[in-house]
Structure 1
């Protein structure tokens, strides 16, 4: 799509871009990203300092890997630092409030619920369809009792994490670029590339790292599309939340942020034989979820 074609399709995006267009200079965006990085680094350093003082080096490694429920809750909740950084950057450099980034709160919440409700229905349908494993039996991780006991906190923590990523990538970054550049290739593409780079982890994923990053980049593009169509971050947050609830709370990869999961996938992220098959399946499911979200927005 060129810029003229997207005017009609993405007309609602103007609601989010207009406040940023008042101060569209690229130096403001770059300075804002620098401020966000400082805030996130400083506050996370404080969390790590406290965590390091509470246990051994092994305990700290397990904490950073999210190997326990408490560790995962803290790691996910720490994404609130990203939201704080964006709020400060937008206020200081663009004279914008967080609401101008998220969109009108009532509308964002309404769209969030419509999309999430559709995705929950999709999840229920997928749950009863075969296959019932991922090539091998799922490995139990947390007991059902413990999992249910921490579930309310887990859901809140995942919401904090997913909303923070959307506020940064599809909010502050996408809107700031759209205020300066007309082409969606730039304001949709660049944040998605950066989002993909953040998910490129060859130390954990091995030869699957590039495919996982590619999956993340496409996911970012789909979230950018939903945001531009809706004029709020509500739908993107809902789909991101649904995705991460499944990936972090129900069935997680072993040895990788698995402290809150009920089950573990029966192979690791670097397994090229099994994981690549399911990456293809997951890619199709991602597209289906995006279409469900698109349909929900027509209500």
Structure 2
């Protein structure tokens, strides 16, 4: 990644990194991350405390795993606290605005539109291609008209969740490391590794946990690559949003984050047979999606 061709391909990344360069000290990054974690934790405790008190009896557990539509809406919306935390960290540690982390709106919005349109076309093509089932009949979750009525809110909270993760990992963290280190191996690799660690959940995924973490690591590298090529977070947010919208709103696993899905898969995260086969397919779809975004951006 250190050759001139890679550096040239990532020249647009400087548009995001430039305002972080005057503040390359690692202590600033560490304090900034502490601000993000503290902000998210404190505001989440307040939100979930209020939600648990106001909600129906016994639904606190659902708030943790998103097993009902309302729980999922609250859970995904709470990721907005991550974005707020990054806003504070960027301002206090690097004297930057959130816009400087995301990218110029004049480029961000058009890129988001172009990429999302390309991914929707790709999704339609994949939908009509075999295989036509998941190894067993899908399990209905929400009634169609209930799902449809919730869809505008569902789409909004998924966008909040995916934007927050990209703003933190491919935004603040990646840019802060790039301001300090020249090598993409560091400023792409370290955020991707932390992203993978955040997705490592052996208690929920069992023997599939490492495979899920590897998936997340590769996804992090690909979205980091798109960010560096585009000079905004728009392509990464659009790809992450497209992926999570399908996985959370259309067909989800039944054991977690399943409350807003139209259907559930007929197996859970711990299934080491069928799920592993589909994870391999998902790896392939991820690579094709990344190439589709590259083509849409001509980068």
TM range (shorter): over 0.9
Structure 1 segment 47-196 matched on structure 2, within 5 A = 47-54=47-54, 58-196=58-196
CA distance in 1, matches of 2:173, 2:134: 36
Residue aligning to 2:24: 24
- In the TM superposition, residue 284 of structure 1 has moved relative to its aligned partner by 0.1
Q: Which whole-Å deviations, capped at 9, do the CAs of 1:197-216 have from their partners, x for residues lacking one?
A: 00001011000000000000
Structure 2 length as normaliser, TM-score?
0.98
Q: Which whole-Å deviations, capped at 9, do the CAs of 1:153-198 have from their partners, x for residues lacking one?
A: 0000000000000000000000000000000010000000000000
Structure 1 segment 189-268 matched on structure 2, within 5 A = 189-268=189-268
CA distance in 2, matches of 1:107, 1:51: 38
SS of the counterpart of 1:196? helix
SS of the counterpart of 2:136? coil
CA distance in 2, matches of 1:259, 1:3: 46
Structure 2 spans left out of the alignment, 5+ residues:
none
SS of the counterpart of 1:266? coil
CA distance in 1, matches of 2:3, 2:37: 31
Matched, 1:279 2:279: yes
- In the TM superposition, residue 120 of structure 1 has moved relative to its aligned partner by 0.1
Question: What is the aligned length?
Answer: 299
Q: Which whole-Å deviations, capped at 9, do the CAs of 1:85-120 have from their partners, x for residues lacking one?
A: 000000011000111110101201111111100000
SS of the counterpart of 1:287? helix
Residue aligning to 1:34: 34
- Contact map agreement 2:48 2:63 (CA 8 A) in 1: no
CA distance in 2, matches of 1:169, 1:40: 15
**Segments of 4+ in structure 1 off by > 4 A?**
none
Matched, 1:293 2:285: no
Q: Which whole-Å deviations, capped at 9, do the CAs of 1:222-252 have from their partners, x for residues lacking one?
A: 0000000000000000000000000000000
Structure 1 spans left out of the alignment, 5+ residues:
none
Q: Which whole-Å deviations, capped at 9, do the CAs of 1:43-83 have from their partners, x for residues lacking one?
A: 00001211232357742112211011111011111100000
Structure 1 length as normaliser, TM-score?
0.98
Q: CA RMSD in A?
A: 1.2
